Every structure is written in C-alpha cells, then in structure tokens.
Amino acid sequence: MSELQLLSEHACFGGVQRFYQHESAAIGLPMKFGVYLPPQAQTEKVPVLFYLAGLTCTEETFAIKAGAQRFAAEHGLALITPDTSPRGANVPGESDGWDFGVGAGFYVDATQEGWSSHYRMESYIADELPALLAQTLPLDMQRAGIFGHSMGGHGALTLALKYPTLFRSVSAFAPIAAPTQCPWGEKAFMGYLGADRDVWKHHDASELMAKAKAPFNGGILIDQGLADKFLPDQLHPEKFEAACAMAGQPLTLRRHEGYDHGYYFIATFVADHIAHHAAVLRG
C-alpha cells in the first residue's frame, strides 16, 4: 500500500480539506485526490461520499467550486474527490482534445494499446483508492456512496451499478447517461475500449440499469438543467429514466428551467445530494 503525501490542508466548516498525492499501482503513476474530513471525523469513523468530476476537471474542482463542505459537515460525511485521469502518461495524442485523454479518463479501464498501461480509472476508483483510504484515514468504507457530474455522473452511475456492495447510494448532476449513444461516449469508448460496441455496453448506465434488479432501495437522484447546451446531443437522461422504469428502480429525475451545465448549477443543488446520501449512509 502506497504512502500518502499531504500536499495541502485547510480548515473548513469545523473540519479540514486536504489534498494528497500517492504512487498508484493501478495507474502506474502518481495520483492526486482531495479529502474533506468533517468535524465528526475527529472522534469516529465517518461515512464516505466519492465525487467524480467531469471533463477537464481535477481533484480540486469540486472542492473549490461546489460549496459542498458546509453540508458534508452538517451530515458528518467525508468527501473524496479523485482526479479525472492519469497525468504524465505521455500517450501519443492524449492532450490533443479536451474530451479524450488527459482530464477525460471516463472512469473505465482502457484495453487498447498505449492507453491500457495507465488509463485504468475504474480499477483506481473501485479498488485501489477505497482500500488506501480505509487503511489511512478515519473513514467507514462499509458506508460509502458515489456521485458525480457529466462524465463523472456517467462514472458514478456505472460504478455504482457494477459495484453495489461498495457503493450503497448514488446520485448525479447532468450525467452522460447513455454514452454508447452520444459523441463524447463514442469517442472515448472507441479510443479506450476498441470498436466492439457490445463491450461498450458494460460501461453505459442505461444499458446496465435495464438489466439490473433495482439495487438501490434508497432511490437514485439526478438533477438536470434544461438550459444545458449538452442536453440534446450528449446526456440523454430520458434513456436512463426509461431503464430505471424497466428495472423497477426508484429514480428522482429533476429537470430545472434556466440551469446550465456548470458549477453554479451544481452549487445550487449540492445540499440535496448530500442529504440524499446521508439518509442512506447514516440512516
């Protein structure tokens, strides 16, 4: 198990916001992540809420922009914010576009040559990072939830469905809900996973949910802005909604007039998401 290197620490709402770096075995490179420990973590192991960020973001984006620490402190939840991709893999072409490669790992384990050595974000999020956190910080990994935004909403939904014993609660902001049917997903999956579209379905929340058996009794919460410029072509929440209906999965999909794809939207509704997870993880 790698050692954590503390990069910075900031007092915040009675708790502490930290940023760490460690040598990742899954990625084969150093990885950074953020941790918000609420005041309750001074005396007990606290439930854990993973947040997966969207395209171009880092481990700092949510911690700086969302204003979530206030609500995490109220509910006694830790917030974990991993980076969105490896850094320094030096794969040819990894920095050519903002929607593939650096900052755009899509939370899958790549299988294609050049990418498969380091772009292993699924193994990092679902295996290595939880084990590392359990051994090094006052966190109760038996009470873990996951949420995310856009590409990270895709990651949260798919990883929750693939690892329901690890993640007991799930929610998302404007997720890429059917990545096999949108340009972002097609580009990422072709590059990371190859041309077999049947393989892609194992990383598509709508495909996974359609075959599921309502794994989340506490329901799933999704917020979507109706002024989101990516809604018509990239996000397709209605496909996930239909899949939940098919599976008998309780879903609250809220559509908001006037809200776009950015962090003003996330900051507006983040309190509801943390309360949603707290009800399951502390209930």
Catalytic residue among 83, 109, 223, 228: 228
Cα 149 to Cα 140: distance, rounded to the nearest angstrom:
24
8 Å CB contact between 247 and 213: yes
User: Of residues 75, 236, 261, 276, which has the active-site annotation?
Assistant: 261
**Residue 12: what are its φ and ψ, rounded to 5°?**
-160, 115
Is 150 an active-site residue?
yes
Going by C-alpha positions, the residue among 212, 221, 227, 224 that lies closest to residue 258 is: 227
| Active-site annotation holds for 256 | no
What φ, ψ does residue 32 adopt, rounded to 5°? -110, 150
> What are all long-range contacts of 13-18, with beta carbons under 8 Å and residues at least 24 apart?
13/38, 13/39, 13/69, 13/70, 13/72, 13/73, 14/38, 14/39, 14/73, 15/39, 15/41, 15/69, 15/72, 15/73, 17/63, 17/69
Catalytic entry in 24, 85, 149, 150: 150
Among this protein's residues, is 169 annotated catalytic?
no
* Distance separating the N- and C-terminal Cα atoms of the chain: 32
Cα–Cα distance measured from residue 162 to residue 209, given in angstroms and rounded to the nearest whole number = 10
Residues involved in catalysis: 150, 228, 261
